[in-house]
């Protein structure tokens, strides 16, 4: 499977990663070879097999609707790039 440079640039945009031209070229090859490995899976005959999103025989793992304390705000904001009045401050997000 061959990913075009445009495919790679689009994926990079979605992942919010900036790539230069040489990286786009290198990643086109590397990502394509990863997809080739998945192509091997596509060759398996799955006729009559239910789609399986979860391999474990578990269902309805739920919790009771009860409240426990949240984090102190200084801990919440500890990894923020910047803060202002208790908010996390980031570059403008276009809606």
Partner 1 sequence: MTATATRYETIIGLEVHVQLLTNSKMFCSCAADYSGAEPNTHVCPVCLGAPGVLPVINERAIELISLTGLALHCSIAPFSKFDRKNYPYPDLPKGYQISQYDLPICAGGYLDVVTADGPRRVGITRIHMEEDTGRLLHRVDPVTGEGYSLIDLNRAGAPLMEIVSEPDIRTPAEAREYLVRLRQILRYIGVSTANMEDGQMRCDANISLRPVGQAEFGAKVEVKNMNSFRAVHDALVFEELRQAEALDRGERIPQETRGWVDDRAVTVSQRTKEEASDYRYFPEPDLPPLRFNEAYLESLRASLPELPEAKRNRFLALGLSDHEAETLVETRDRAEFFEALKARIGGDEQRATKLAANWVLGEVGRWANETGQNLADLPATPEKLAKLIQMAEEGAITAAAAKEVFSAVAESGEDPATVVEKRGLATISGDDELTAVVRDAIAGNAQAVADYHAGKESAIKFLVGQVMRATRGRADPQKATDLLAAELDSK
Would you tell me which residues interact with partner 1 (CB under 8 A)? 14, 16, 53-54, 56, 58-68, 70-71, 73, 76-77, 79, 84-95
* 77 secondary structure, DSSP code: T
Residue 48 or residue 72: which is nearer to partner 1 going by CB? 72
Contacts of residue 8, defined as CB under 8 A and 6 or more positions apart, other chains included, come to: 19, 24, 27, 28, 31
The number of CA neighbours under 13 Å toward the Cβ of 40 is 4
> What are the residues whose beta carbons fall under 8 Å from the beta carbon of 39, sequence distance 6 or more?
1
Question: Least CB distance from residue 26 to partner 1, whole Å?
Answer: 22
Smaller CB separation from partner 1, 22 or 52: 52
Radius of gyration of the chain (CA): 22
Measured from the CB atom, the residue of 43 and 93 that comes closer to partner 1 is 93
Q: Quick one: 22 or 56, whose CB is closer to partner 1?
A: 56
Question: In this structure, what are the phi and psi dihedrals at residue 83, rounded to the nearest 5 degrees?
Answer: -135, 160
**Shortest separation between residue 52's beta carbon and partner 1, angstroms:** 9
The minimum distance between CB 38 and partner 1, in angstroms, equals 13
């Amino acid at each position: 499977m061959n990913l075009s440079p445009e495919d790679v640039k689009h994926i990079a945009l979605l992942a919010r990663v900036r790539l230069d031209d040489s990286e786009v070229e290198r990643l086109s090859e590397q990502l394509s070879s990863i997809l080739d490995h998945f192509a091997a899976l596509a060759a398996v005959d799955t006729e009559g097999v239910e789609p399986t999103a979860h391999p474990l025989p578990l269902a309805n793992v739920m919790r009771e609707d009860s409240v426990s304390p949240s984090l102190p705000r200084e801990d919440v904001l500890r990894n923020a790039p910047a803060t202002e009045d208790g908010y996390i401050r980031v570059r403008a997000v276009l809606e």
